[in-house]
Amino acid sequence: MRIKDSQGNATKYQMLENDVIPFFNQTYWGHTYMKLLVDVTVPASGYSTYVLSKVDMDVPANSWALALREDENDKALMIITNTKHGFRGIHDSLSLTLIRSSFDPDPYPENFIHNFRFAVGIIEQKCNKTLINRAYDYNHNISFVSAYINNKKGSLPCTNSFMEVKGGSIALSSVKMPEESEDTLKNLIIRVYETEGKNTQAVIRFSEKIANAYYVDINENKITPELNIEINDHELLFDVRAWSIASLRIEF
């Protein structure tokens, strides 16, 4: 037996079980099934941006939808939301479903008081990264502490950034402390994803000098993928594949 992918390339697999699967103490319509462990590469669909055709039904999206214009130079309608995720585009219109009369798990979702917030804007049809940043800025208010700045005291500049994305078609998804570390104050986990469907080199600058950095998996275990990573003083340069997620551990 051979298993091939959509391009016709041979794919690794392992047969786990080859037997009749019981179904309520009977065979399932008398068919025999094989359990296989197949080596596949799954794209980061949860972070991808999709272009959908006109369809008269709700489609899910994390926080925003854009009604594309035929002329890319024309401005387009964008809806951003923080708690509603059903969008519909048909009849030259774009809509957001606020309340649905479903019955499971909540049999009465349309009852009681609902509080929701969304924004509607006319913007330029730019790259996915710009649209993602617009939605992120709307849903994450700036936190700040007001203070009097006396230029005669202290050595730090009046403006600075803890970390900043300087290059690459990526969006920052997560910044957190490691789950296991002897010194969490000097270690950081970051997770990014590629937004434009192409391989890219990301550049992130930190306020502290970087001592070490490497890729990790979802469980924060060190991995060595065939991707380049480079430390340049305060800057971290690393490769991210198209539409994929990259997690890294940074040590200061």
| Residue 189 maps to a domain | yes
pTM passes above 0.75: no
CATH number at 175 reads: 2.60.40
The residue segments making up the domain with residue 236 are 163-251
| Residue 155 maps to a domain | no
Contact 215, 206 (CB under 8 A): no
Q: Are residues 35 and 50 located together in one domain of the fold?
A: no
Q: Are residues 88 and 171 located together in one domain of the fold?
A: no
Specify the DSSP class assigned to residue 10: B
| CA–CA dist 193, 172 (Å, integer) | 7
| Residue 105 maps to a domain | no
Q: State whether the Cα torsion 158-161-166-172 is positive or negative.
A: negative
| CA–CA dist 235, 115 (Å, integer) | 42
| Residue 71 maps to a domain | yes
For tokens 């971290």, the residue is 236
* Per-residue pLDDT tens over the stretch 80-97: 998 888 898 888 888 998
Specify the higher pLDDT residue, 54 or 207.
207
| Residue 185 maps to a domain | yes
| CA–CA dist 232, 209 (Å, integer) | 9
Q: Are residues 199 and 176 located together in one domain of the fold?
A: yes
Q: Are residues 8 and 72 located together in one domain of the fold?
A: no
Number of domains in the chain: 3
Residue 209 confidence class, pLDDT cut points 50, 70, 90: very high
| Residue 129 maps to a domain | yes
Q: Which among 58, 98, 101 is positioned nearest to 82, based on CA atoms?
A: 98
| Residue 104 maps to a domain | no
